[in-house]
Structure 1
Amino acid sequence: MSALEINKVFKDYGKVRVLKDINISIDSGEFLILVGPSGCGKSTLMNAIAGLDDITAGEIRIGGDDVTHRSPKDRDIAMVFQSYALYPSMSVRENIAFGLEMRKVAKTERDQEVERVAKMLQIEHLLDRKPAQLSGGQRQRVAMGRALARKPKIYLFDEPLSNLDAKLRVEMRTEIKKLHQRLGTTIVYVTHDQIEAMTLADRIAVMKDGVVLQLDSPQNIYDNPVNMFVAGFMGSPAMNFIKAPLVKLDQGYGVSLTNQAGDTYALPVPQAKQGSLDGWLNKEVILGLRPEQITHVMPHRQSEPFCHTLPCRVEVAEPTGADTLIEIFFNGQEVDARIEPRSQAPVGQVMELMLDMSKAVLFNPETQDRLA
C-alpha cells in the first residue's frame, strides 16, 4: 500500500488552472521532493496534500484512506513551515508538546516524547528558552521537533531551510538526511533548491506551470532529463545547450562541433541514445553536455570510445578551490567546462580538453523535448 497517492489532481483559482492532472504515488518511508521555480505549483500541491487548500478535481489518499475532503487535523500529517510558526509566548518544551496536548495525550507521555525528540535533535539544553532567544537553525530544529513528536503517517516540509544562511542550510540539510535514515519516515518536501533536491530525495518530481514534467530518482533525472527545462534546472552549473548539426558517421550519428579556431570535429553519440534520428540528419539539434563532461585530458580515459580530445581557447576562468570552471566556445556559443585547477591554461591560451559523449543528450530545438 502506498503511503501517499495523488490521482488526477487539478486545482483552479477562478479561471487560472495552477495544478494540471497531477499523478504521484510514493511508498512508506520514501523521501519525495517537489522541486521547481517560483509559481510552478509545488506549494499549492503541498497545501492540497495537507488539506490547507481544497482541490478542484481528483483524489488524495494517505495510507490507503481517501482524505480528499478531510480537514488537516484528520489527515494524520505533520507540517514544518518555512516560517517555523512557533508560538512566541511558549517555551521550546511547550512548543514541542503543544500538538500532543491538543490530542489529549497524557502529561507523562508528553514529557517522555519531548525528551526523546529533544535528544534526537540535540536541543535538550534549549527546552526552557523562548523562540526569541534562539538562532534560526535552533528554531528550525524546534519546528522539526514539534512535527516529530506527532508520529504521523506523513511529514510535510515546505521550504524549511530557505530562511537560513548558506552554511547553516548545508548543516540542516545533513541533519534532515540523517533523521530520515534513522527514522525511515515518509516525507514530502518542497524546495526550489535543486542541490537540496539532489542530496535529500529518493525521488524528485520536477514541476513547471502546474505540471509534473518528470518523476524519477535524482540520478536518472540528472542523467536522463525528459526535456531541456529539466536538464537546465537540475545541476549547477547548468547543462550546456549547444546548437549543432546532426551528421552521419560510418556507424550511426554524430554532432558537428567547431572551436574558436574554426576547426570542425564530428563526435559520435552512443547507439543506445540515437533513437529515431533519421529525420534529423543534416538538421540542427540541441546537444546537451554537462560541464563535468568537458574536462582536462585524463590519459587513462583517452582510449574510451566516446572520449574525444579537442583544442579550445580558454576565455574565462573561475576557480572554486576543488575545481575550476572555464568558459570556451563551440559553434559560436558559450560553453562551461569543469577542470582540475592545476591543469588550467592561462586565459586566452589554447588547452586540450576531453569531451565525454557517453552521456550526451540531444533535444528537439522546437519543442525542447528529448530526442536521444
Structure 2
Amino acid sequence: MAALEINNVCKDFGSEQVLKDVSLAIDSGEFLILVGPSGCGKSTLMNAIAGLEPVTTGEIRIAGENVTWQTPAERDIAMVFQSYALYPSMTVRQNISFGLEMRKVPKAEREAAVERVAELLQIAHLLERKPSQLSGGQRQRVAMGRALAREPKVYLFDEPLSNLDAKLRVDMRTEIKKLHQRLGTTIVYVTHDQIEAMTLADCIAVMRDGRILQLGSPDEVYNDPVDLFVAGFMGSPSMNFISATLMGGSGAYRLRVETPEEETLELPWPRERETPALAGKVGERVILGLRPEHFTEDDARLSEYDEGVALTPHITVVEPTGADILLQLKLGDGEATARVGPKCRVKAGERLTLRIDMGRAVMFDRETEKRLA
C-alpha cells in the first residue's frame, strides 16, 4: 500500500488553474521531493496534501485512506514550515511537546518523546531556551523536533532550509539525510533548490506550470530528462544546449555542429542510444544536450569510441571553483560550459583539447522540446 497517493488533483484560484491534473504515488519510507521554479505549484500541492488548501477536483489518499476532505488534524501528518512557526513565548521543550499535549498524550509519554527527539537532533542543551535565544539552524532543529515528536504517517517539509545561510543549509541538508536514513520515515519535501533535490531524494517530481513533467529517481531526472526544461533545470551548472543537424541513417547517425571558427564538427551518435524517432529527423536541426562533466581533458589513453571526437576550442572564460574548474568555450551558435580537473592550467584565450562523452549525450526536438534520444 502506498503511503501517499495523489490522483488527478486540480486546484483553481478563481479563473487561474494552479494545479493541473497532478497524479503521483510514493511508498512507505520514501523521500519525495517536489522541485521546480517559483510559481510552479509545488507549495500549493504541499498545502493540498496537508489539508491547508482544499482541492478543486481529484483525490488524496494517505496510507490507503481517502483524506481529500479531512482537516489537517485528521490526516495524521506533521509539517515543518519555511518560517519555523515556533511559539515565541514557549521554551524549546514546550514547543516540541505542544502538539502532543493538544492530542491528550499522557505527560510521561510527552516527556519521553521530547527527550528522544532532543537527543536525536542534538538540542538537549537548548530545551529551556526561548526561540529568540536560538540561531536559525537551532530553530530549524526545534521545528523538526516538534514534527518528529509524533509518529505520523507522512512528514511534510515546505522549503525548510530557505532561510538559512549557504553553509548552514549544507549542514542541515546532511542532518535531514541522516535522519531519514535512521528513521525510515515517509517524507514529502518542497524546494526550488535542485541540489537539495538531487542529494536528498529517493524520488523527484519536477514541476512546471502546475504539472508534473517527470517523476523518477535523481539519476533518471538528471541523466534521462524527458524534455529541455527538466534537462536545464536539474544540474549546476545546467546542461549545455547545442544546435546541430542530424545526419546519416540507422546505425550511423551523426550530429553536425558548426563551430565559430567556421569548422564543422561531426559527433557520432552512439548506436545504443538510437530511437525510432531519429529516422524522421535526418537532415533537420535538433538540440544536442551535453552536461559540463561530459567534456574531459584529452588523454591519449582514451579511444574515440570511449570519449567521442576530440575538439580544440578557444577558451573564453576560466572559473576555478576549488574542487574543479569551469571553462566557457564557443560551440555551435553559442557558448558551452565544460568541467575539468583542478590541475588544468589553461588560460582564457588559449585553446584546449577536450573530448566529448557522447555515450551520455541526449537529443531533443527543436520544435516540441521533447526528448528524441
Query: What TM-score, normalized by structure 2, do the two folds share?
Result: 0.98
Measured against aligned partners, the alpha-carbon deviations of 1:11-35 in whole angstroms (never above 9, x if no partner) come to 1111111101111000000000000
1:262 corresponds to: 262
Give the C-alpha shift of residue 88 in structure 1.
Answer: 0.1
Give the C-alpha shift of residue 248 in structure 1.
Answer: 1.1
1:353 corresponds to: 354
1:162 corresponds to: 162
Secondary structure at the aligned position of 1:20 is classed as strand
Q: Indicate if the aligned counterparts of 2:325 and 2:344 stay in contact, CA closer than 8 A.
A: no
Secondary structure at the aligned position of 2:82 is classed as coil
Amino acid at match of 2:240: N
Give the C-alpha shift of residue 249 in structure 1.
Answer: 6.4
Give the C-alpha shift of residue 264 in structure 1.
Answer: 1.5
Secondary structure at the aligned position of 2:312 is classed as strand
1:242 corresponds to: 242
1:93 corresponds to: 93
Q: Indicate if the aligned counterparts of 1:268 and 1:306 stay in contact, CA closer than 8 A.
A: no
Give the C-alpha shift of residue 214 in structure 1.
Answer: 0.1
C-alpha distance in structure 2 between counterparts of 1:17 and 1:346, whole Å = 50
Pairing 1:137-176 to 2, within 5 Å after superposition: 137-176=137-176
C-alpha distance in structure 2 between counterparts of 1:334 and 1:250, whole Å = 30
2:213 corresponds to: 213
1:287 corresponds to: 288
Give the C-alpha shift of residue 52 in structure 1.
Answer: 0.3
Secondary structure at the aligned position of 1:242 is classed as strand
1:321 corresponds to: 322
Give the C-alpha shift of residue 3 in structure 1.
Answer: 0.2
Amino acid at match of 2:118: A
C-alpha distance in structure 1 between counterparts of 2:346 and 2:328, whole Å = 12
1:230 corresponds to: 230
2:199 corresponds to: 199
C-alpha distance in structure 2 between counterparts of 1:74 and 1:95, whole Å = 21
Give the C-alpha shift of residue 344 in structure 1.
Answer: 3.4
Give the C-alpha shift of residue 366 in structure 1.
Answer: 1.0
Give the C-alpha shift of residue 115 in structure 1.
Answer: 0.3
2:110 corresponds to: 110
C-alpha distance in structure 1 between counterparts of 2:77 and 2:322, whole Å = 43
Q: Indicate if the aligned counterparts of 1:3 and 1:63 stay in contact, CA closer than 8 A.
A: yes
Secondary structure at the aligned position of 2:43 is classed as helix
Measured against aligned partners, the alpha-carbon deviations of 1:115-169 in whole angstroms (never above 9, x if no partner) come to 0000000000000000000000000000000000011000000000000000000
Q: Percent identity?
A: 63
1:32 corresponds to: 32
C-alpha distance in structure 2 between counterparts of 1:145 and 1:260, whole Å = 56
Give the C-alpha shift of residue 272 in structure 1.
Answer: 2.9
Question: Is the deviation greater in 290-299 or in 322-331?
Answer: 290-299
Q: Indicate if the aligned counterparts of 1:117 and 1:148 stay in contact, CA closer than 8 A.
A: yes
1:42 corresponds to: 42
Q: Indicate if the aligned counterparts of 2:285 and 2:366 stay in contact, CA closer than 8 A.
A: yes
1:4 corresponds to: 4
Amino acid at match of 2:298: V
Amino acid at match of 1:313: H
RMSD over aligned CA atoms reads 1.2
Gaps of 5+ in 2: none
Q: Indicate if the aligned counterparts of 1:328 and 1:335 stay in contact, CA closer than 8 A.
A: yes
Amino acid at match of 1:210: G
Q: Indicate if the aligned counterparts of 1:260 and 1:313 stay in contact, CA closer than 8 A.
A: no
C-alpha distance in structure 1 between counterparts of 2:210 and 2:249, whole Å = 41
2:19 corresponds to: 19
Q: Indicate if the aligned counterparts of 2:286 and 2:363 stay in contact, CA closer than 8 A.
A: yes
Query: What TM-score, normalized by structure 1, do the two folds share?
Result: 0.98
C-alpha distance in structure 2 between counterparts of 1:352 and 1:36, whole Å = 36
Measured against aligned partners, the alpha-carbon deviations of 1:305-345 in whole angstroms (never above 9, x if no partner) come to 45221111111111111111111111231111111132232
Secondary structure at the aligned position of 1:140 is classed as helix
Question: Is the deviation greater in 278-287 or in 136-145?
Answer: 278-287
Give the C-alpha shift of residue 268 in structure 1.
Answer: 1.1
Q: Indicate if the aligned counterparts of 1:50 and 1:77 stay in contact, CA closer than 8 A.
A: yes
Q: Indicate if the aligned counterparts of 2:228 and 2:371 stay in contact, CA closer than 8 A.
A: yes
Secondary structure at the aligned position of 2:267 is classed as strand
Give the C-alpha shift of residue 252 in structure 1.
Answer: 2.1
Give the C-alpha shift of residue 367 in structure 1.
Answer: 1.1
Q: Indicate if the aligned counterparts of 1:259 and 1:311 stay in contact, CA closer than 8 A.
A: no
2:127 corresponds to: 127
* Residues 1:66 and 2:66 are matched in the alignment: yes
C-alpha distance in structure 2 between counterparts of 1:194 and 1:301, whole Å = 32
Give the C-alpha shift of residue 281 in structure 1.
Answer: 1.1
Q: Indicate if the aligned counterparts of 2:159 and 2:189 stay in contact, CA closer than 8 A.
A: yes
Matched length:
372
C-alpha distance in structure 2 between counterparts of 1:55 and 1:300, whole Å = 59
Amino acid at match of 1:228: L
Give the C-alpha shift of residue 346 in structure 1.
Answer: 1.8
Q: Indicate if the aligned counterparts of 2:249 and 2:279 stay in contact, CA closer than 8 A.
A: no
Q: Indicate if the aligned counterparts of 2:307 and 2:355 stay in contact, CA closer than 8 A.
A: no
C-alpha distance in structure 1 between counterparts of 2:332 and 2:80, whole Å = 48
Amino acid at match of 2:79: M
